[in-house]
Every structure is written in structure tokens, then in C-alpha cells.
Structure 1
Amino acid sequence: MKNTPFLVGALTIALVGSASAQSLTIATVNNGDMIRMQELSSGFTDETGIELNWVVLEENTLRQRVTTDIATGGGQYDIMTIGNYEVPIWGRQGWLAPLDDLAEDADYNVDDLLPAIRGGLSVDGTLYAVPFYGESSMIMYRTDLLEEAGLEMPENPTWEFVAEAARAMTDRENDINGICLRGKAGWGENMALITSMANAFGGRWFDEDWNPQFDQPVWNEVLNFYVDLMNDAGPAGASSNGFNENLALFQQGRCGMWIDATVAASFVSNPDDSEVADMVGYAVAPDTGNDNRGNWLWSWNLGIPESSQQKDAAKQFLAWATSQEYTNLVAENEGWANVPPGTRTSLYENPDYIEAAPFAEITLDAINAADTVNPTVDPVPYVGGQFVAIPEFQGLGTTVGQLFSAALAGQSSVDDALSQAQSVAEREMRRGGYMN
């Protein structure tokens, strides 16, 4: 494995001499980009002397552990991998160390960060985390299967077309599912997908007075559409499938379509990992004819809890892992198509990346089109796109996700799931003081 110099700015110069006895504990998620970062980080240790202890966890488990640790000031981790949901909430609560040093470091070039991504990581102009990669959502589909079905992907696909195509591509005898969608319970798992669907259909979590909306007809339409589609064209056991499970199914050639994070594009198009790499097409997320695609905006970011006793060394790692130099390091080792996407403007101006990544333009367009301030068709009192940016959402979203996952698994009816979701949401909104 090749290594290149990647020390970044004044932070490094100040720390190299005293770092030999230091170690950092990093909590991160078990997806491909983060695993690659772990593999490449030996060069960082060789250069700085800072040892790295990795805690790599499944997405839902990661969220539970880092939330508990930071809320209690446990100090178990020096660096946390967190989303743009947590960053502004935790920053306002004083749980994250501000990153003014990085923001002012000319070598780091914070102005190169995509405005949509950077804005979600700042509170009152102060940066509280830096993005490792950013994403929106898109359709990834098998061009060969769609052609065999006698269909052509429209420039602006609708959910109606997605359902038609998914059913047409389904071939149970050959273990090909027309569509793979998230079913695993979690506010950042199935609810990211279903909330995005609801936004596109005209649904919303709450009205302008914070009244929950699961008792409205549009939610019944959304959840029935989702469950029926997955029963007709989805894989067996879909209620247990999240991002990683659906990625594996698509790479194995067992999905006709997959609507999920744009970051997955490099994995499904990599011939080393994907059996269908040369048969993948990309399209914008579907709408229902109302120009709202519900495409989400998400970033996995590195932040430092205030409880860490190694803040200076942690900032040095953040500067390395999210720098332009790290992008070049990944490109040298893995190829340009596999670099972390969706964070820096310069990446989308790099001809080497544009040539290697056929999904680059659609990814950038999706990120720029995501509207987290006005995520739904009708007005709402919250921001967040595929999530509701309030502290209560982590628990509430997961509970609703469990109810919807049970409906997908046939353990309850759609009507029962929505009724229970309405009751739970009303209780939480009253408890939080949002509604009378």
C-alpha cells in the first residue's frame, strides 16, 4: 500500500514533536469508506506517532453508544463519527469542541467545503465537525434488466414508474428482486427512506403547530405503497435490511433497483466488489409529479467531544482524514472513483474524478437540490429533510421505524402502525412542550 505525505497545516507542526505518547479512540460506522480510512490510517500513525484505537460499529449501535457517552460526559471516545443531525444539536448544548483552529487554517481550506454540507455543521458561524463524506439520494438500477423489461428510465422518474419497473424486473425464480429499499428499523435507517418518500408524496411529520400527521390520508398512501411494493418486488426478510445489506444484494446482482445514498454509487460500480459493475445506471430520486423528490442531505462527520482529553491530537487527525491530501491518498491507493464524495467543491472540478466517476454530476446535483429548510410540499416548523432536527427525533424516529418495520414484516397492519405512530408522536410532542 502506498503512502504519501499528508500532514496538514500549523496544527501538525505544533504537535508532531509531542505526539509519540498519545493515542486516540475513534468511534466510527462500519461502512466501506470508514473501513478504508481505518486501513489507510497507519500512515498517519507512522508520521505523527499518534496511536489510533478503532471502535467500528453498526450504524444504529454507533448512534446509541456515542449519544450515551457524549450526553453523560463519559469520555470514552476522542473522536466520534456523527451525522449532520447530531452536530448542530450537540454543538448548541456545548457537547462538541469547536473547530475554529481548522476553520482558520489556510492549508485546510474550509472554504472549499460544499456550502450545503458546511452549513449543516455550524452553529452561529462556528464549525463543530468536519465532513468525511456527504451524500444525497438517487436511483441506482440495472440497465440490462430495465431494457429486458421493455422500459427506459425517464429523466425525471416518478414513484409510479419505479413501482412499475420494479414489478416488471422481479424474477423470483432467478432470485432477482425488482427493488431493494431499507426496512431495518431506525431513524437513520428505514425512516430516512420512508420520510423522504413521504416528503415526495406530500406528507410531513408535523403541521405548523407541531401536531403529528400520521393520521392523515397521505401517510396511509405512503406506507401502503411502500409495503405493497416491497411485498411484490422486494427481497425476503426486507425488514432486516439496511444500507449494508441492500448494498450486498445489489452487488450480487439480486436487485433491479436500489434507491439510497449517492455514496453507494462507487461501491456498486467497482468491479472488484460488484458483479454488475458494468450494468449500473443512475437517476435522480423519484417524485410524484409535484417537483419534490424528497432527496435527502446527509454527511458522516468527525467531531470531538468536549470530554476528550486529547483535543489537539484529535484535531490533527480530523485535519488529515478530511483534507484534500487524504482524497489524493485514496485516489492513489484505490482509484479516483472511490474517494470520499460530497464534501469539497474542488473534487467536482477535478477532471480525473469526473472521468472516473460517472455518478459525479448527478451526486452533486442531488446534494445541491436537497432542501432541508423546506423539505416538504406544505409548510412545516422543522428543518432536516429525511429527519426532523429536534432532540426528541432520535428516540421518536426509531420507535416509529420499529412500527413501520413490523408492518413491512407482516407483524401488524399499516393502519395499526400508523395509529400507534400517531399516539407515540403526540405523547412525545406534549412531553417536549411542542404542543398543548
Structure 2
Amino acid sequence: MQQLNSAPAPASELTSHELSRIVDFLRKLRAPFDTGVPGATKDVFWNIVLELVDAHLRRRPIDKSGLVTLAGVPYSTGNRMIIKMIADDLIRQVPRGGGLKTHFLEPTDTLLHSFMDYATHVKGHLAKTFGLRKGTEANEYYFGGSYFAAQIISPVRGDDIAGKVPGDIRFLLNDDNYFSSMRNMWSDFRNDLGRKSSFELQRLQELYVSAQAHFAKPSPEYDVISINMPWLGEFAEKGHLAPLDELLQDAAINPLDFHPSVWGTGNWKGTQYGIPLYCTIEILAARRDLFDERGLTYPRTFDETIAAARALHRPAGEFYGIAWNGQRGMPIANSFMFFLAACQKTIIDMPMHNQESWTFDRFEKLKLQIETDDAVEVIDYMKQLVEVSPPDIEFMDWEKRIQCFMSGRAGLAYCWTMRAARFEHELSSQVARRVAYLPPPSRRMRKIAAPIGGFLMTIPANVPPARQRQIMNAIAWMVSPEAMKAHVKNGFPVAPRFSVCADPEALASSPIVSMVDQLARRNEIVTWARPPIPEFSLIEAILGTEIHDAVFHGKPPAQALRDAENRIHAGLLDRQS
């Protein structure tokens, strides 16, 4: 099939997610008028434009017959309109390819740009009408987010969950400062029903092993297990996770209050298996005071990052240019994948856009993208980083890089926003109010790609259905705007909900909140840097050794990448045998 043309995006503040929601809003707004008002008839032009734009946004090829069907008009009527729109240069015909004489249809640039202008007007008018934003500030309002910008979210209360959840609920969670805070807040509000012993917190590597073991047991030891976002495909495919769609119908969780890409991190093959509890973005932290003092420009590319780090690097005084994850295993594997994302590439051949639901063909049919020129360039960048890093960089993980920067021993640091919050809030921090929070540098001024991470709250499939409903009430409370705002105000700028990002008190609590919110609105946050394919953990483990050998132990980069691909394929064969 011939590749559909990709029309250049109009210069607009609308994201594709927003535009899709506006199309759905307009469709639902018009339908009751057509069916309920005497004398009303369907507007064939209106319906065709909406369905054509929607299909284009969803990258769903559509032919004439399919478009007329979706428009809900007689074929002869729809056919005449489509022929006229083709003649008027509003619809473009794209050959199917493969020797077929039929065509797919897509909007021309003229139609797409004019519709975007109209949709922007609709968004701005609604924002102004409902008091969400002034008309001139409508780009600050995300269409579809269920919030009012001037509304301050009420404090979280314990009686919100009183009597709604079982007293013996058990959690297996990641061991980090966010989950520790959540455990403490839950225990405080639950009093005698909620105890800290109800929570088991484990470091990321141990959490994966424990989750595997507990999911496989015939009876559940835990009611809620947090999983790293890239693990979704593996655990969903194995049938370890309870589907949540039916439970969500009665739960106090509004998916529209989550950024679509974030909500989509919990959706596998059209089924929701996980609820995003927090999201964290990989960014670059810079010592603003040192950059100002030396007249340095904040880096936006790989080369500029190396140059800035060299200018700050003073190893004789135990001060280093940059801190990042160089430790063997998960840390350096994730660094490699994030730097690859900065090249607008990922480890498999897949569309470079965020998914609202993840689905992949059988893995052996997917093409690995590890042994590539981009990957060689990434390793070269990592080797240059080593030259301006602390001497223990090959042992540095998430916690050590934060400690290095927070103690005032590095001028730059790649870091998760969740951990970066400690720069401002921990009493031991030597860099409070001296940090600039920057998007991750790209390669050669390419589009910004800020990788997203975080955890999904899941219910094991072996939990009895009746208990699952009670557990969903607990999850709903934990991911509620009130609970998330409480965490944000306490120094955890990681809320994935629009209502929290719009809350004035939450915005004032940290400069990271608004920075991340703007990245999301500009579609610069990416979920594809670590695609949640079922074999992700296998790939991660192999990259964690091969990339480390190439960066620190002299293994030729091309050989390391070739060996990585060969080992991955061999590992797949072992699993299948």
C-alpha cells in the first residue's frame, strides 16, 4: 500500500489530540440537531469534512465508500459531494498502490489548514465562554481537559474513601519518594485500617522480579501492583493484569482529565489495564547561577551540551560538567534509549508518534533499529559525556546522579522531573533556587523528544472480581486530583491530570509543573522512547551490557550494536523453544 502523504501541520497551538477531540465534540453537538429538530437534514459537506479530518488525524486510510458510510448520507449524495470537493482542491486522492486503480482520500493542505483555524476558533470561544481562559490565552487551555483554570482543587480528605475500600488491601510499589509519600498519606487518612505494613516498596530492578513472581501465583498476595510503563505489554500479554474498562465505568476516574498519551500508557490492544499514578519526564537540569555568571547559553543540542559541560568541568576541584546514568544494566540502557529518542529514533521500527493504545505485531515481524548509524552516533555522544563526567560515572544510577547534582558537584544533569523536585525541597540541597529546568537536548536541532516515565497502578488478574471493584475505589482516590495536588504541593511535580496542572496553587509550588505542562501541550513528550513491547525487558537487559561495554570498556560501537541485535534474536528463540 502506498504511504499516505503527511500534510504539514498548520501553525497552530492545537495538538492532534485536541483536534481529534474537537472533531468528536462537533460531531456529537450536531447529531441531536439533525435527529431531533423537525425539518433538519444532515449536512453532507459538514459530515464529510469531520470524518475525513478525523481519519487523517488517526492515520486511518479511508476510501470513498468508507467516508460516505461514516458521513451517514446516501451514497449518491456523498459521492457527488466528494467529486465536487476533489474538483475544488479540498480532497486529495492517494493511489492504493500494488497495481490497484482505487484511491484513498485525505484532506488537502487547504482544507486541513482552514479546518484547523475553525477548530482553534471553537476552542478559544468555548474557553472564553466558560471562563476557562481569556480569549487571547486560549492556547493555555487544553481542549478536553476537565478543569477550570481558576478553580482551586479542595484539599484531600480521609472521608473521601471511608467505607469504600477493604481494610486489608495490600500494595507492591516502586521504592521512590513519591510512593513513600503516598504510603504515608494513605496511612494517615486510613488510621487503623491503613498501615505502613500494607505497603511493600522495592527498588525498580527488584520490583520487576517480584511482580513476575506474584503475578504467576494462583492466589494474590497483593491487590495493587505498580508496574513500570514499559512493562505493560509483557504483563498484559501473559494475562497477568485484570482489564479495567468495566470497573472504570463506575469509578471516580475521568480519563479525559489525563493527557491522552499518558492515559494511553496503560492501554494495551484497546483495553485499559493500568491507571497512570504519576508521570515523570527526562529533562536536563542546569545550574542557572553558573550559566549566568559565565555567560553561557543553555544547550539545545548534543554538541552544545558537550561544549557547556566542558566549560563547567573542573575535575581538580571535584566539580564536573554533567551527571547522567552510566551504570551497567537498566540505567545505561535507558540512557541509550533516551538519547536515541533525541535523534527521533527508537529501538524498533515503529511510527514516531504517541499511542492512545499500544499494540504490536508478533515481535519477530518487527524490525530492530539498534545496529544503525544513529545508534553509533549516540554511543559517540555518551563517550564524550564520559570525558566531562564524575570519575564514577560508570557506576552512576538514578539516585547517584541526583545526589551528585544536588550536592553542588555538577553543572548539568539529566534527570527525571520527579527526582529533580528534590533540588528545591530537600534541606540538604546545595542548589535550591539555582536550577534551570530544560527540555532534553536533541541532535542537531531536531524536534524535542522528552521521554516519559512513570508507573501504572494495576490489579492482578487473580484478584476476585468483587474485590476488584473495591480496589478500584482505592486507586481512584490515589489518582484523584485532590490527592495528586497534595503530592505536587509537597514537592512532587508529576501529576498527569490537566486539573492539577491548571490549579494555581499547584502551579505555584514548583517551576517544573508548568514546564512539563508546556512540553505536553506542544506534543514534545514522547511515550515511544521505550516501547512497551512484551520483549522490552529482554532488550533492556542486553543493551545494558553491550552499551556499557562500548562506552566504558573499549568495545567497538558497531560490534556492540551488532552483538546486541544477535543476542536479542537468540533470546527470542530460546523463549520460543
TM-score tier, shorter chain, comes to: 0.7 to 0.9
User: 1:362 is matched with which residue?
Assistant: 515
* Gapped regions of structure 1 (runs ≥ 5): 376-383
Identity between Structure 1 and Structure 2 (%):
20
Decide whether the 8 Å contact of 2:314 with 2:321 is kept in 1.
yes
The aligned amino acid for 1:400 is: L
* Gapped regions of structure 2 (runs ≥ 5): 1-154, 351-364
The aligned amino acid for 1:246 is: R
User: 2:544 is matched with which residue?
Assistant: 401
Equivalents in 1 of 2:456, 2:471: separation in Å? 13
Matched, 1:414 2:557: yes
- Counterparts in 2 of 1:215 and 1:85: CA distance versus 1, 3 Å: closer
Equivalents in 2 of 1:400, 1:173: separation in Å? 33
Matched, 1:261 2:404: no
Decide whether the 8 Å contact of 2:336 with 2:547 is kept in 1.
no
The aligned amino acid for 1:143 is: R
Matched, 1:169 2:342: no
- Counterparts in 2 of 1:200 and 1:425: CA distance versus 1, 3 Å: same
User: 1:321 is matched with which residue?
Assistant: 478
Cα root mean square deviation, aligned = 2.9
Q: How many Å apart are 1:392 and its aligned residue?
A: 1.2
Q: How many Å apart are 1:106 and its aligned residue?
A: 6.5
User: 2:366 is matched with which residue?
Assistant: 210
Q: Which has the higher contact order (CA 8 A, sep 6+)?
A: 1
Matched, 1:220 2:376: yes
Map residues 142-181 of structure 1 onto 2, 5 A cutoff: 142-153=287-298, 157-181=300-324
- Counterparts in 2 of 1:242 and 1:369: CA distance versus 1, 3 Å: farther
CA deviation profile, 1:231-251 (whole Å, cap 9, x unmatched): x11122222222112111111
- Counterpart selection for 1:55 from 188, 195, 200: 200
- Counterpart selection for 1:250 from 405, 412, 418: 405
Matched, 1:76 2:221: yes
Equivalents in 1 of 2:237, 2:192: separation in Å? 34
The aligned amino acid for 1:5 is: R
Equivalents in 1 of 2:385, 2:164: separation in Å? 57
User: 1:276 is matched with which residue?
Assistant: 431
Larger radius of gyration: 2
The aligned amino acid for 1:427 is: A
Decide whether the 8 Å contact of 1:81 with 1:301 is kept in 2.
yes
- Counterparts in 2 of 1:368 and 1:90: CA distance versus 1, 3 Å: farther
**2:477 alignment partner, SS class:** helix
Decide whether the 8 Å contact of 2:288 with 2:434 is kept in 1.
yes
Normalised by the length of structure 2, the TM-score is: 0.64
Decide whether the 8 Å contact of 1:178 with 1:255 is kept in 2.
yes
Q: How many Å apart are 1:350 and its aligned residue?
A: 0.8
**2:320 alignment partner, SS class:** coil
Equivalents in 1 of 2:194, 2:281: separation in Å? 36
- Counterparts in 2 of 1:74 and 1:393: CA distance versus 1, 3 Å: farther
User: 2:241 is matched with which residue?
Assistant: 96
Decide whether the 8 Å contact of 2:253 with 2:476 is kept in 1.
yes
**2:307 alignment partner, SS class:** helix
Equivalents in 1 of 2:448, 2:535: separation in Å? 25
User: 2:158 is matched with which residue?
Assistant: 6
CA deviation profile, 1:213-234 (whole Å, cap 9, x unmatched): 433332222112202212x111
User: 1:29 is matched with which residue?
Assistant: 174
User: 2:334 is matched with which residue?
Assistant: 192
The aligned amino acid for 1:318 is: I
Decide whether the 8 Å contact of 1:26 with 1:77 is kept in 2.
yes
Decide whether the 8 Å contact of 2:277 with 2:454 is kept in 1.
yes
Equivalents in 2 of 1:111, 1:289: separation in Å? 35
- Counterpart selection for 1:350 from 503, 518, 521: 503
CA deviation profile, 1:310-367 (whole Å, cap 9, x unmatched): 5344323312221122134446xxxx26145231101111111222211222212334
Decide whether the 8 Å contact of 1:82 with 1:303 is kept in 2.
yes
Decide whether the 8 Å contact of 2:485 with 2:500 is kept in 1.
no
Equivalents in 1 of 2:243, 2:210: separation in Å? 21
Normalised by the length of structure 1, the TM-score is: 0.83
User: 1:129 is matched with which residue?
Assistant: 274
Q: How many Å apart are 1:142 and its aligned residue?
A: 0.5
User: 2:140 is matched with which residue?
Assistant: none
The aligned amino acid for 2:324 is: L
The aligned amino acid for 2:539 is: L
Q: How many Å apart are 1:125 and its aligned residue?
A: 5.0
Equivalents in 2 of 1:5, 1:47: separation in Å? 16
Decide whether the 8 Å contact of 1:199 with 1:292 is kept in 2.
no
- Counterpart selection for 2:209 from 48, 64, 80: 64
Q: How many Å apart are 1:289 and its aligned residue?
A: 2.8
- Counterparts in 2 of 1:49 and 1:84: CA distance versus 1, 3 Å: closer
Q: How many Å apart are 1:79 and its aligned residue?
A: 1.4
Q: How many Å apart are 1:47 and its aligned residue?
A: 7.0
Decide whether the 8 Å contact of 2:231 with 2:537 is kept in 1.
no
- Counterparts in 2 of 1:51 and 1:296: CA distance versus 1, 3 Å: closer
Residue correspondences, number: 406
CA deviation profile, 1:105-141 (whole Å, cap 9, x unmatched): 4644343222221122124554322222112222111
CA deviation profile, 1:114-172 (whole Å, cap 9, x unmatched): 22211221245543222221122221111122234431215xx1111111111111111
Decide whether the 8 Å contact of 1:102 with 1:319 is kept in 2.
no
Equivalents in 1 of 2:452, 2:444: separation in Å? 21
Equivalents in 1 of 2:564, 2:326: separation in Å? 16
